[in-house]
Amino acid sequence: MSFGYKTSWLAVRDAGPEEVADALGLRHRRSMDWTSGTELAYRQGVFVARPVPGWTLAHGRIHLTQETDATRPDFPSWLRTLAARVGDLQYFGTDRIVDHHAWARVDSGELTRAYCYIGMSGAVPLRLGEPTAVERELGVGLVGREEVRQDWGDAEWDAWHAAMPTEQHVMRIAADWSVCPPAIADDSVGTPGIHGFPPGVEPERTS
């Protein structure tokens, strides 16, 4: 069971799972195989693993960004703080239910690109840096609310909405920047990862 849809994750090149787990402050840690850790992180906590050479991924549907997500003003500083500890990183988030799609990257300590769209409200709460080549190829991440005009008719609004991202666009961007998690074959991951909980979050008791 890989992940990617209806969740959020970090991709880190230069740090291993233990270092990323330390940077996230994960507690109540348990060693887990790829399938079990991924499945659990959809319900609670965060799972950190290195499923492919060169990339450590940290995934959590609820608790990876419980305190800070791409819609909040402090999201950029959260990413920069993490990058100061683990090196260059990328963030991706997508949820088709509320039509929430986001991506960001820190290169050489600088937040070079960040974009977030929430279709339910038609908002673009985050738009930093220049679109990357893959975004231009896909035709997404190029416009925000700044381009909207009050005198627009249906044709202009249709074109604007057509330029907004979908979950498939997020996967394409992830594949171009680093690795697309849904493309990882579960049986190809033999090394276990770390499941844990960020500060202030306690494991849910199960009967």
Two tokens at 14? 């230069």
Report the first-to-last Cα separation within the chain, whole angstroms. Answer: 24
Q: Which pLDDT tens digit goes with each residue over 119-133?
A: 877 788 899 999 999
Q: What share of the chain is helix, strand, coil (3-state, %, to 5)?
A: 30, 30, 40
Q: Which pLDDT tens digit goes with each residue over 19-34?
A: 999 999 999 999 999 9
How many other CB atoms sit within 10 Å of the CB of residue 88? Answer: 18
- Residue 181, pLDDT > 80, answer yes
Is-above-0.85 flag for pTM?
yes
Q: Which pLDDT tens digit goes with each residue over 88-104?
A: 999 999 998 888 999 99
Picking from 61-70, 97-106, 190-199, which range would have the lowest pLDDT averaged per residue? 61-70
Beta bridge partners of 111: 106
pLDDT band at 66 (very low <50, low <70, confident <90, very high): low
C-beta separation of 63 from 69 below 8 A: no
Average pLDDT over residues 1-9: 87
Q: How many residues does the chain have?
A: 207
Contacts 24+ apart (CB under 8 A), 158-166: 163/139, 164/117, 164/119, 164/140, 165/101, 165/115, 165/117, 165/138, 165/140, 165/141, 166/96, 166/101
